[in-house]
Amino acid sequence: MPVSYDGSREAPAAPPARSAEGPPMPDPRSIRRIAINTGGGDAPGLNAVIRAVVLSACRIGWEVYGIRRSYDGLFEADGVTQLVPARVQGITHVGGTILGTTNQGNPFKYPVTGPDGKTRLVDRSAEILTTLRDRRVDALVAIGGDGSLSIAYELFLRGLPVIGVPKTIDNDLDATVLTFGFDTAVQTATEAIDKLQSTAEAHRRVMVVEVMGRYAGWIALHSGLAAAADIILLPEIPFKIDKVIEKIREREEHGQPYAIVVAAEGARPYGGDFVTRGGSELGREIRLGGIADLVARQIEQLTGKETRSLVLGHLQRGGNPTTFDRLMALRFGAAAVRYLRRGAYGRMVALRPPDVLTVPLRQAISQRKLVPMDSDTILTARSLGTCLGD
Ligand code: F6P
C-alpha cells in the first residue's frame, strides 16, 4: 500500500469498493454527472468539502450540480445550480455553506400545508428520485449528520447511487473517529470559557456555560478540559447536584471562591430528564436547552454564591473552520469522489487515522457515538480532579 508523506495511505486500488447491499447499481464507469447537497445544521468546513468535491470531480471530467437547502432545491425551479471550479474559488476558509441547508427538509416526511391550512407530513422521496433521474444525475454526494445521512441511506435503498460525508459539530456520528466542524466548535467554546475565568474570579462567582452536542458530551468534555473548567456535566454521566456543590465548596476551602461549570445541552440530573426548549412537532427534532440555567439556580440556592449562566448556542456553528477542520473536510471531499469512482455506493467516507476509508452508511447511522467512560479523555479529567457530577 503506498504511503504518502503525511503517513496516510491510499486505500487499495483493487478490488473496487462496491457495496454489497442495496438494489443493483450502475457501473461507476458510466458516471458523468454528480449532485451534491448539504443537510442538517451547518458546520464549519462544509464549503471546503464542496470545493474538494467540485475540483476532484471536474478534474476527471464529471459535471457537478449543487442542490440548494438540502433536498428542497429539487422541488424548486432554480434550486439546482452547476458548480464549476470558478464557483468554488476562495471558499475553503469560509463557514456556512454556499448551497444553504435546512434541518426541516426530510423528503420522506415533508411538511406540506393543504388548502385547509393544516400542515401534514408527506413522502416526497419519489419526486426527488424522478427529478434527479430527469436531470441525468448519476450519483449524489450527501454531506450531513445522522438525520441527513439516514435520508441518503433511504434514497440509496430506493436505487440512488449515494456516498455520504460525515458532518456535525457534535462529533456523535459512529464509524468515523471525527467529523469536521467539531474542532472549530471546540475551539470557539474553549475561547469563550477562557474568557469566563477572569470575570468569574473577579466577582467570586460561579459561571455555568451551556454548550451544544445534543446527546453526546464531546464538545463539553474537550472544551471544558482545555479551558480548565472545574465541573463538566455530560449527557453520558447523569449528575448529582451534591457532587457539584461539593466541588464548589472544596475550591472555596482552597482559597478559590469562584468556579466554572461547563454543561452539555444534553446533560441531565441523575434520575431526571433532558431540559428542552420545544417539542418534536411535525417531525422536527426536540430542541435541547436550558440546563445551564437550571444548574445555576440550584447552585445559587444551595451555596448562596452569586451564579450566572450563559448559553453559547449557535456561535459554536459559526465562523471560519480551523486548519484541522479544513484539512479533514478537503480530505473527505476528495475521498468521496475517489470512492464514488470505484462504486462505493451506500457508503460514507470516514476518518480512521491515518486513513480516510469508507464504511456502510447503515453502520454509520445505526448508533450514536457517545463519549466512552473508559476513554483517555475522561480518565484525564478524573486524574486532574475535574468534577464530572458523579
Ligand atoms: O446537531 C448540531 C446542533 O448544532 C446541535 O448541537 C444542536 O442541538 C442543534 O444542532 C441545534 O439546532 P437548530 O439549528 O435547529 O437550533
Ligand 1 contact, 168 CB (< 6 A): yes
Ligand 1 contact, 171 CB (< 6 A): no
Residue 8 lies in a domain: no
The atom number, within ligand 1, closest to the CA of 289 reads 8
pLDDT of residue 8: 45
Query: How far away, in angstroms, is 209 Cα from ligand 1 center?
Result: 16
Ligand 1 contact, 103 CB (< 6 A): yes
Q: What is the CATH number of the domain that holds 93?
A: 3.40.50.450
pLDDT per residue as tens digits for the range 85-122: 999 999 999 999 999 999 988 999 998 999 999 999 99
Give DSSP secondary structure letters for 221-254.
HHHHHHTT-SEEE-TTS-B-HHHHHHHHHHHHHT
HSE-CB for 318 with a 13 A CA cutoff: 4
Give DSSP secondary structure letters for 42-71.
--TTHHHHHHHHHHHHHHTT-EEEEESTTT
Residue 267 lies in a domain: yes
Judge if 70 and 206 occupy the same domain: no
Residue 61 lies in a domain: yes
pLDDT of residue 1: 39
Judge if 231 and 346 occupy the same domain: no
pLDDT of residue 280: 66
Beta bridge partners of 351: 356
**Count of C-beta atoms within a 10 Å radius of residue 233:** 33
Catalogue the E-assigned strands of the chain. 33-38, 63-67, 80-82, 110-113, 119-122, 139-144, 162-166, 206-211, 231-233, 259-264, 276-278, 287-288, 307-311, 347-352, 355-360
Q: Which of 316, 340, 373 is the last residue of a domain?
A: 316
Return the SS3 of 309. strand
Atom 3 of ligand 1 has which residue's CA nearest to it?
Answer: 41
The atom number, within ligand 1, closest to the CA of 169 reads 2
The atom number, within ligand 1, closest to the CA of 288 reads 8
Query: How far away, in angstroms, is 285 Cα from ligand 1 center?
Result: 9
Task: Determine whether 116 is an active site residue.
Answer: no
Query: How far away, in angstroms, is 314 Cα from ligand 1 center?
Result: 8
- Catalytic position from the list 170, 172, 293, 325: 170
Q: Which of 42, 69, 146, 169 to mutate to test the pocket of ligand 1 (most atoms within 8 A of CB)?
A: 169
Ligand 1 contact, 288 CB (< 6 A): yes
8 A C-beta contact, residue 231 and residue 387:
yes
Q: Which of 171, 212, 280 to mutate to test the pocket of ligand 1 (most atoms within 8 A of CB)?
A: 212
Query: How far away, in angstroms, is 40 Cα from ligand 1 center?
Result: 8
DSSP summary character for residue 276: E
| Summary count for the chain: helices (H), strands (E) | 10, 15
Q: What angle do CA 106, 110, 113 make, to 5 degrees?
A: 155
Helical H segments across 89-140, by residue range: 125-134
Residue 147 lies in a domain: yes
8 A C-beta contact, residue 165 and residue 36:
no
Judge if 200 and 261 occupy the same domain: yes
pLDDT of residue 17: 52
Residue 34 lies in a domain: yes
Residue 374 lies in a domain: no
Residue 354's domain spans which residues? Answer: 28-180+321-364
Query: How far away, in angstroms, is 292 Cα from ligand 1 center?
Result: 16
Query: How far away, in angstroms, is 248 Cα from ligand 1 center?
Result: 30
Judge if 359 and 295 occupy the same domain: no
Judge if 341 and 307 occupy the same domain: no
Residue 93 lies in a domain: yes
pLDDT of residue 4: 39
Residue ranges in the chain modelled with pLDDT below 70 = 1-20, 279-283
Q: What is the CATH number of the domain that holds 211?
A: 3.40.50.460
Atom 13 of ligand 1 has which residue's CA nearest to it?
Answer: 41
